[in-house]
Amino acid sequence: MKRMRIEQPASLADAAALLAEHGSRALCVAGATDVIISWRKGELPEAAELLVDISGLKELRGIRESEGQIIIGSGTTHAEAESDPLLLSTVPFLCEAAASVGSPQIRNRGTIGGNIVTSAQCADTIPPLLVLDAEAVLVSAAGERTVALSDFLIGPKQTAIRPEEIMREIRFTRPPEGARGAFVKLIRREAVAKARISLALLAAADSAGKLTDCRFSPGSVTPQPQRFSEVERLLCSRVPDEQLIEEAAELTAAVMIRESGRRWSAPYKEPVLKTLTSRLLRRILMAEEA
């Protein structure tokens, strides 16, 4: 394994100063569940020689609400997120996504920030955060900036984070009263399994049942996590019925094929994605049992 130096800064400002000084020769490490694997496989960035361990920084921990915004410190572990009372009462589907990550050991170490920055196509917390219109707050020695998660994810395993930046938190507006959200994940029958397909949905309807808001993000089916805006536009402003749900499920599978091409897994994923989508839409939009 390549030799690396490790620094444990005492504050976020110190961590940012180290990144500013060392640029692309330094790499943040939080729970290390992804970094260790890349290190072992010899896949750390070639220039990297210093790991800046941010796992002890209090400024990156905690989940709170402020002025209608729910704010999750990037260093929050999946285990903390899955049982957090504020998240459970406002966005339980995000807790379900966090609870579905890996094994208890991985959930106790792995963080929401690390999950987003790695931005694997199967990252479990990303689809729920995309349907929540989440934003990432990035800090560096030069200041801070806020980037919509949809703009932060710029390609397969590629994000807009700069070498000198640290994600401090992820934030989103509390969903409106009456909105219904859901997360489902299909895995192989193994103890620790990454998603083969996941779906996140957040929808709200008026008193006549017409959808006033509909946000939909399938995971693991496109090279990079994304919202399926064509499906959202098809559903929005309509009263869902069987025919609309079937159309939405067909369109979801068509968008997957267009975005990913007809890969070896398509004969399996196409019908399964259609079925999972129509089941989820029926359950959430027509309040049917799964």
Ligand X SMILES: Cc1cc2nc3c(=O)[nH]c(=O)nc-3n(C[C@H](O)[C@H](O)[C@H](O)COP(=O)(O)OP(=O)(O)OC[C@H]3O[C@@H](n4cnc5c(N)ncnc54)[C@H](O)[C@@H]3O)c2cc1C
Residues lying near ligand X in the complex (CB under 6 A) are found at 27-35, 37, 54, 60, 74, 101-102, 106, 109-111, 113-115, 117-118, 123-124, 161, 166-167, 192, 194
Nearer to ligand X, 168 or 282 (CB): 168
Closer by beta carbon to ligand X, 111 or else 252 = 111
CB closest to ligand X, residue no: 114
Sheet strands (E) in the chain: 5-7, 26-29, 50-53, 63-66, 69-73, 135-140, 143-148, 153-155, 158-159, 166-173, 180-187, 195-205, 211-219
Burial class (CB in 10 A: 0-12, 13-18, 19+), 42: exposed
Nearest approach in angstroms of CB 30 to ligand X is 3
Shortest Å, Cβ 28 to ligand X: 4
Shortest spacing between CB 54 and ligand X, in angstroms: 6
Residue 34 CB, shortest distance to ligand X, in Å, is 3
User: Quick one: which of 139, 154, 221 has its CA closest to 185?
Assistant: 221
Instruction: Determine the Cα–Cα distance for residues 27 and 241; give it in Å rounded to an integer.
Output: 50
Helices (H), 156-265: 229-235, 242-260
CB of 250 to ligand X, least distance (A): 28
Rank residues 106 and 147 by Cβ distance to ligand X and give the closer one: 106
Smaller CB distance to ligand X: residue 13 or 192? 192
Residue 124: CB minimum distance to ligand X, A: 4
What is the 8-class DSSP label of residue 209? S
Can you tell me the distance from the alpha carbon of 28 to that of 55, in angstroms, rounded to the nearest whole number? 9
Considering the complex, state which of residue 194 and residue 274 has its C-beta at the smaller distance from ligand X. Answer: 194
Query: For ligand X, which is the closer residue by CB, 166 or 234?
Result: 166
* 277 contacts: CB under 8 Å, gap ≥ 6: 199, 218, 248, 249, 252, 253
